[in-house]
Amino acid sequence: MGCRQVFIRFGGCNLNCTYCDTDASAGARFCRVEQKPGLKNYRLVQNPLSPQEVASLANSFCLSRHHSVALTGGEPLLYPLFIRELAPLLKGARRGIFLETNGTLPRALLEVINLVDIIGVDFKLPGTTGLPPYWEEHRRFLEIAGQREVFVKAVVGEGTKNEEIETAASLINEVSPGTALVLQPVVLPGGIQGIGPARMLELQETALRKIKDVRLIPQTHKITGCL
């Protein structure tokens, strides 16, 4: 938390979470490139970009001053071939390449696992996503992701059930013991946090009965106004 990153956001997603704050549609005519970090003074660039063009834009931000380059979305693992071309061209960030993913596409992860350094895996909880559970996909995903530095994140709201948190913590315990679980309060339209502090702490305590490292961390880029 708080480290400086360059964000590369991929369009499109295989899921459709109720709380999604990203235009998850693929095929937009233009992408936006921030000119000066923090100013939101975007330049429009016509899609689709090649891996070489994306790398050139990312590298222009002086990666050596950054913790990592984040591949995020949407869902970046919809594009494993693109990532295979892009990743070797992104050089210089202190901790390399950070993959942020919804954790449901384990076969795609196998195609890029050797090219990424840190993986943030979302566990999708039905109580907040409004979707069916993906426990088997998450299990397989975490088995592969464990080859790298990894942590699990789960968005929680008032609709999150204790059993969902218990299942998530048990899965971590079985597949990748020692992996941290980050509980992130859902943000509702209008920027309102969709879960109260008492319930958040209750969910954290539930997870702590099974695993040791459970943290409550909000979306800091929204608090700071970056992106």
Tokens 């990666």 -> residue: 63
Q: Which of 5, 6, 8, 13 binds ligand SF4 (CB under 6 A)?
A: 13
- Please identify, using beta-carbon distances, which residue of 16 and 162 lies nearer to ligand SF4: 16
Q: Which of 7, 24, 135, 139 binds ligand SF4 (CB under 6 A)?
A: 24
Residue 4 CB, nearest approach to ligand SF4 (Å): 22
Number of residues located near ligand SF4, criterion CB under 6 A: 11
Question: Cα dihedral sign for 185, 188, 193, 195?
Answer: negative
Residue 138 CB, nearest approach to ligand SF4 (Å): 12
Q: Which of 16, 52, 220, 224 binds ligand SF4 (CB under 6 A)?
A: 16
Residue 103 CB, nearest approach to ligand SF4 (Å): 9
- Please identify, using beta-carbon distances, which residue of 16 and 50 lies nearer to ligand SF4: 16
Residue 36 CB, nearest approach to ligand SF4 (Å): 26
Q: What SS3 state is found at 141?
A: helix
Q: Does the bond joining 37 to the residue before it have cis omega, within 30 degrees of 0?
A: no
Question: Cα dihedral sign for 100, 101, 106, 112?
Answer: negative
Count of Cβ atoms closer than 10 Å to residue 58 Cβ: 22
- Does residue 15 interact with ligand SF4 by CB under 6 A? yes
- Please identify, using beta-carbon distances, which residue of 20 and 227 lies nearer to ligand SF4: 20
- Please identify, using beta-carbon distances, which residue of 212 and 221 lies nearer to ligand SF4: 221
Residues 141-170 touching ligand SF4, rule: CB under 6 A, are none
Is-contact 190 19, C-beta < 8 A? Answer: no
**Main-chain phi, psi angles of 97, to 5 degrees:** -110, 130
Residues 42-101 touching ligand SF4, rule: CB under 6 A, are 73-75
- Please identify, using beta-carbon distances, which residue of 125 and 203 lies nearer to ligand SF4: 125
Binding mask 91-120 for ligand SF4 (x = CB under 6 A): -----------x------------------
What residues make contact with ligand SF4 under the rule CB under 6 A? Answer: 13, 15-17, 20, 22, 24, 73-75, 102
